[in-house]
Every structure is written in C-alpha cells, then in structure tokens.
Amino acid sequence: MKKTRLLLLAGIVAIACSKKEDDIQLPDKLYQPGVLVVNEGPFGTGTGTLDFYDPQSKQVEHDIYQKVNNLPIGNIFQSAYFDLSYGYLVANNSGAVRIVDANNMKLFRSLEDMASPRYAMRTGSSTVAFSDWASGKVFFYQTQIFEKVGEVLSGSGPEKMYFHSQGNKLYVLNSGGFSTDSTVSVINASTYQLVKKIQVPYNPNSYALDKNGKLWVLCGGRKDWTNPANSTPGALVRIDLNTDEVEAVLNFDNPDQFPSNLCINKEKDVLYFVDDKYFGGVFRMSITSATLPTTPVIERTAYALDIDPIRGDLYLGDAGNFNQAGKIIRYAVPTLTPVDSFTAGVIPGNFFFR
C-alpha cells in the first residue's frame, strides 16, 4: 500500500512538472510607485516609447507599453497622465490617445477622433479633458465608456491644463501652436462653457501651483523670424485663482530665448525653470522674489524638466542630438547633488510621477 501511494504521488508530481511554462499564469507587473518617462520618438517617423524608473531601486525598464501590448504608442508621444483607474498616453502626430490600465499598462482602448491631441487632465469623478492643437479645442470625455460629452474652442495651440477642483474650473494654456497666442482659457468643467480668457504675455507653455494657491504661468515670448527686432521676450506671471486676474508679471530681457518647463519643489515655495528650451540652463527662484534669477543652478541643457511632488527630486531630460537615446539625470533638492542617471529613449520630453 505504501509503495502504491508513493507511485501515485510521484505520478502527480511528474504531471505537474510537465506543464508548459506558457500555461503558468504569472501576476501582472505593476508599474508603480515610480517615474514614467515620456520619450517623444523620432519626428515624423517611428514611435515614441514609455520608460519606467523605480527611484528606490534605481532600476529602469524601457519601452514598457510595447512590451506589455506588443503595439507601438504612436508618433510624437507628447504626454502621459494617470488617474487611479487609467493612464492616458497621448501621441500627437498619430492623433491618438492610448488608454491603459493604470497599474499594468495593458491597453484598454484607443481614442483616434482628435487631430493632434497634446495633454490630458481629469476634470472630475467621471470626465477627462484633452487639449488638441489642430482644432484649438478642448474635448471632454466621459470615463465609463469614453464618449465625447463636450468641446470648447480654447485658443491657438492649447496645451497644458490645470483643474481647480474648488472652483470646478479648467485652466488651459494656449501656447500659440505654430502661430501665437497670449491667453489662458478658463472653462467651466461641468457645463463645458468658456468662462473667461486671461490675458498673459505671448505663448504660455507651463505652470506651477504654489503653497498659497497661486497659479504661476511661464510664457515663452514671441519670435519674429523675419524681423528679430520685433521679437518679444518671455515672462513669468502669477494668477489669482479667486479672481482669475494676473497679479504679477516678471519680464525676461532676451527675446532670443524661449523660457519653458516651469515646475515647483515639493514644499511649493521655490520655482524652477529653463531659460531656453533648446540651449539654456536651469534657474530657480523663491515665490516671494520680485525679480527673475540671473545665474543658473544647473548649467546643462534641459529639454525636459520636472520635480517629483511625492519624493521631491528633480528630473532633467537631455535629448542629446534628438536622433539617439537621451539621458535622464536625477538631482536631490535643494542641494542639486546628482543622485542617479540613466539612458532614456529618443527625445525624453515629459515625466509623470506616481
């Protein structure tokens, strides 16, 4: 009897061990907490890629969307935005938004009814907004079945957006696109109606919210390529969200520069930005300062720049020659001591922290 039981047990073990590895269901990898790096990809050809970086282990995994879905994201991967349920991967030239599971990056569905989407922003418990360059509009989608429920004509080249939940208002930076604009649109996120256009200097491109609830907007200025003498320098402005009025303007001196990539430290009292998106260094200033800084704190070209609001480090994206793999440098704040660096994809242009 004992021999029979042993033979039976051995048979069960043999059968179990003979199962193909492909039949074994491994748990999905969860891509959080960490930093998502948006690599735009080659302009006009190829596809952008999404990298995941773990700040604790300092390990990076490249092209995670392709690995999970065996599909490309699309050409000119502009931005990524995540809420608790979904991630929105926005491919500008492809006119596509890839909606993925927020945890495992599996593709849920694609939206392909916008011409050139740029950024996404959740605007409540059941809606998400997308800015679109070609139409100059902001489109609102319901997040249960992702049907379009509203659209608002915003301005020329609408890009980054900020949702102010207390006022139920969506602030849209009209960057000018391939022309010029000098407004920030204020949209009622419930009625999908334009409430107001706040006049700012030319071509607003990035923003930061400080500890006092003030919205800082960085404007790149206007370039007149036919007559450079007519170019207008950029400016940094502060907006009161209670009145939707500009209450402070700090003007740059050099019209040849294009200030961009405004961000703020974890404590929300020190601003960081790049004085020229393609050739400049990194500057910082207190939110109480009445003048712009003149000396860079990082003398390195930063195509991308942002600060992790959860862990507090600064991330700089160096696009190199814009054709080969870029590089990410992570700095401690406020010392700006390099903590780590790693290779990214082609043209690292944005980050998302979670």
Is there a single domain that holds both residue 67 and residue 164?
Answer: no
Residues 35 and 149 in one domain: no
Q: At which residue do the structure tokens 């969200």 appear?
A: 241
In a domain, 352, yes or no: no
d(CA 304, CA 300): 11
Rounded distance between C-alpha atoms, residue 236 and residue 4, angstroms: 83
For position 123, which CATH number holds? 2.40.10.480
Query: Which is more confident, 226 or 1?
Result: 226
* pLDDT above 50: residue 19: no
Q: Are strands 325-331 and 137-142 parallel, antiparallel or unpaired?
A: unpaired
Residue type, 181: D
What integer is the mean pLDDT of 257-269?
Answer: 97
Residues 257, 222 share a domain:
yes
Strand 282-286 to strand 304-307: parallel, antiparallel, or no bridges (unpaired)? unpaired
Q: For residue 203, which of 178, 170, 227 has the smallest C-alpha distance?
A: 178
301 and 285 in a single domain? The answer is: yes
61 and 127 share one domain: no
Work out whether strand 49-54 and strand 59-61 pair parallel, antiparallel, or are unpaired: antiparallel
Beta carbons within 10 angstroms of residue 6's beta carbon? 10
Q: Quick check: 175 pLDDT over 90?
A: yes
**CB-based contacts of 293: which residues, under 8 Å, 6+ apart?**
283, 284, 285
Is 318 part of any domain? yes
Bridge-based pairing of strands 260-264 and 245-251 is unpaired
Query: Quick check: is 15 in a domain?
Result: no
* Structure token digits, residue 182: 């000098």
The domain that contains 265 carries what CATH number? 2.130.10.10
Q: Report which of residues 14 and 230 the model is more confident about.
A: 230
Residue 228 pLDDT: 83
DSSP, collapsed to helix, strand or coil, labels residue 42 as coil
Q: What angle do CA 222, 225, 229 make, to 5 degrees?
A: 75
CA nearest neighbour of 65 among 117, 101, 118:
101
Query: pLDDT at residue 10 above 80?
Result: no
Least confident span in 43-47, 165-169, 330-334, 345-349: 43-47
- pLDDT bucket at 27, cuts 50 / 70 / 90: low
**What is the rounded CA–CA span in Å between residue 147 and residue 127?**
10
Same-domain pairing of 187 and 219? no
Number of H helices, E strands in the chain: 2, 27
- Percent of residues in the chain assigned helix, strand, coil, to nearest 5: 10, 45, 45
In DSSP notation, 6-44 reads HHHHHHHHHHHHTS-GGGS-PPPPP--SSEEEEE--STT
Q: Are residues 212 and 329 in the same domain?
A: yes
What pLDDT is attached to residue 25? 53
> 332: which 2 tokens?
């401690």
Number of domains in the chain: 3
pLDDT tens track for 56-97: 999 999 999 999 999 999 999 999 999 999 999 999 999 999
Q: In what order do the strands lie in the sheet with 86-91?
A: 77-82, 86-91, 96-101, 107-111
- 3-class SS of residue 64: helix
| Three-state secondary-structure class, residue 306 | strand
Which of 200, 232, 267 is the last residue before a domain boundary?
Answer: 200
Last residue of a domain, one of 200, 230, 246: 200
pLDDT band at 11 (very low <50, low <70, confident <90, very high): very low
> What distances in angstroms separate CA 348 from CA 111, 302, 316, 325, one per listed residue?
23, 10, 9, 8
User: What one-letter code names the amino acid at 346?
Assistant: V
Q: Is residue 2 pLDDT above 50, yes or no?
A: no
Q: Do residues 215 and 328 both lie within one domain?
A: yes
pLDDT of residue 227: 87
Cα–Cα distance measured from residue 78 to residue 97, given in angstroms and rounded to the nearest whole number: 10
- Cα separation, 125 vs 178, whole angstroms: 33
Of 161, 162, 152, 159, residue with least CA distance to 132: 159
175 and 95 in a single domain? The answer is: no
Same-domain status, 103 and 165 = no
pLDDT at 284: 98
**What are the structure tokens assigned to 208, written together?**
């930061």
Tell me the CA distances in angstroms from 148 to 72, 91, 113, 164, one per residue in order: 24, 18, 10, 21
161 found inside a domain: yes
Query: pTM surpassing 0.75?
Result: yes
Q: Is residue 124 part of a domain?
A: yes
Kindly state whether residue 354 falls inside one of the protein's structural domains: no
Range of 274's domain?
204-343
- Report the pLDDT value the prediction gives residue 20, as an integer from 0 to 100: 47
Return the pLDDT at 4.
42
